[in-house]
């Protein structure tokens, strides 16, 4: 850095201190914000299938029976993952959920309701971990 630029930067920082602000704190806050935004962007790129696996691993032990566990795996495998599995969880929208649920409503109303609830739970899990923003697309 040339001497003139260093002196200008020093004057700028002294002015900041005279205003009652802490330049080091501001620099650290900016760095933390950039890091958080990068982490959020990376989390949003995680595939829906990966988040579903993480959700199941986190909650499977609390489910009441092995049949219930198997139903989760089967409904996700049969209805959800073919459509949403490779999509980044941050991009799953209401239209994508409706494409899955709408055909099921006609023939298997109870299954459609459960699948919608399971997608909602997975998207809530993703939001809690910073992979999504806004409303839940399955709600």
The per-residue pLDDT string of the chain (139 residues; one tens digit each, 9 = 90 and over) reads 899 999 999 999 899 899 999 988 888 888 888 877 776 666 557 889 999 999 999 998 888 888 988 999 999 999 999 999 999 888 899 999 999 999 999 899 999 999 999 999 999 998 888 778 888 888 8
CB distance 82 to 100 below 8 Å: no
Long-range contacts of 22-27 (CB under 8 A, 24+ apart): none
Q: Taking CA 81 as the corner, what is the angle to CA 111 and CA 36, rounded to the nearest 5 degrees?
A: 115
Residue the block writes with tokens 């260093």: 6
How far, in Å, CA of 122 to CA of 53, rounded? 9
Tokens of 127: 């939001």
Q: How many CA atoms lie within 13 A of 39 on its CB side?
A: 8
Encoding tokens for residue 105? 């409503």
Question: What's the pLDDT score for residue 41?
Answer: 64
pLDDT score, position 31:
84
**pLDDT score for 34:** 82
pLDDT at 79: 95
pLDDT for the residue numbered 43: 58
Identify which of 90, 56, 86 has the alpha carbon closest to the alpha carbon of residue 74: 56
Whose structure tokens read 């239209």? Answer: 95
Beta bridge partners, 47, equal: 88
What is the pLDDT, as a whole number, of residue 130?
A: 79
SS3 47: strand
């Amino acid at each position: 850095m040339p001497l003139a630029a260093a002196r200008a930067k020093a004057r700028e920082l002294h002015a900041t201190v005279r205003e009652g602000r802490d330049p080091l704190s501001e620099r650290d806050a900016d760095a933390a914000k950039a890091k958080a935004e990068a982490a959020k962007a990376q989390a949003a790129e995680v595939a829906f299938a990966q988040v579903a696996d993480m959700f199941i691993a986190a909650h499977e032990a609390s489910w009441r029976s092995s049949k219930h566990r198997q139903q989760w795996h089967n409904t996700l495998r049969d209805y959800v993952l073919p459509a949403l599995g490779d999509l980044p969880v941050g991009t799953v929208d209401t239209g994508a959920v409706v494409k899955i649920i709408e055909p099921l409503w006609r023939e298997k109303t109870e299954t459609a309701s459960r699948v919608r609830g399971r997608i909602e739970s997975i998207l809530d899990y993703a939001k809690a971990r910073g992979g999504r923003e806004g409303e839940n697309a399955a709600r």
